[in-house]
Chains A and B, each alone.
Chain A
Amino acid sequence: AQSVTQLDSQVPVFEEAPVELRCNYSSSVSVYLFWYVQYPNQGLQLLLKYLSGSTLVKGINGFEAEFNKSQTSFHLRKPSVHISDTAEYFCAVRRSGYSTLTFGKGTMLLVSP
């Protein structure tokens, strides 16, 4: 079975500062990795995904993430955040050959002026 650990429940940051949201996973088999964002009272929106190939993936809204197989990590980064980036961010893993997603507990990104 796989699991996903998001080490920070909340990350406060000032507008225009860089941010990194951490995600570690455990799985003994090949996995696909995803980051989702959830705005208040809304569903989950896909930010980016790693399926194969280049370990640095770019997503929407200026976010990017790097897959590190040796450290089993998939940290999300943005060089300069906006107030509108305030939301809950979820890391998720899908095991190769299976359809279901396993989510972390989420990290609340709080951007202040």
Chain B
Amino acid sequence: GAGVSQSPRYKVAKRGQDVALRCDPISGHVSLFWYQQALGQGPEFLTYFQNEAQLDKSGLPSDRFFAERPEGSVSTLKIQRTQQEDSAVYLCASSPRQGMGVEDGYTFGSGTRLTVV
């Protein structure tokens, strides 16, 4: 597609519910990133894929967070047993190049706003 597409745009979950957030990167982009943006804060890194390989998941806040990119294109961020502190905008970004030496800022999607009630 022309840009990075994320769905759903908005998600309301009851505390304890599992959610899955989808990211469709730009076709052919090798690198894919997930960031979490809490209200009034800047985005914070969650995890990074190069093709289907998850090379860095150091930013995932707990073992309730899980991300996958099985075929090296679409990625899903799954949050199990959601808590109120998980409420945030989840941003996906992709880049045509491999992680090391990326010189371009990534292309970000519009995000999924998750509200846990």
Q: How far is the CA of A44 from the CA of B109 in the complex (A)?
A: 8
Q: Is there contact, CB below 8 Å, between B42 and A51?
A: no
Main secondary structure of the interface of A (DSSP, over half): strand
Known: A42-B110, A49-B105. A97 touches B100 (CB 8 A): yes
Which of A36, A41, A49, A101 interacts with B110 by CB under 8 Å? A41
Interface residues of B in 55-71 (CB under 8 A from A): 56, 59
Q: Range of interface residues on chain B?
A: 20 to 34
Shortest distance in angstroms between A99's beta carbon and chain B's nearest beta carbon? 3
Complex interface: chain A residues within 8 A of B31 (CB): 99
- Which of A62-70, A73-81, A102-110 is the contact stretch? A102-110
Q: Is there contact, CB below 8 Å, between A100 and B42?
A: no
Q: Is there contact, CB below 8 Å, between B41 and A105?
A: yes
Q: Is there contact, CB below 8 Å, between B110 and A100?
A: no
Interface positions of B (Cβ within 8 A of A): 4, 31, 33, 35, 40-45, 48, 56, 59, 91, 93, 99-106, 108-111
17 residue pairs from A and B, CB less than 8 Å apart: A41-B110, A42-B110, A43-B4, A46-B106, A92-B42, A92-B105, A97-B100, A97-B101, A98-B99, A99-B99, A100-B56, A101-B35, A101-B43, A101-B45, A105-B41, A106-B40, A106-B42
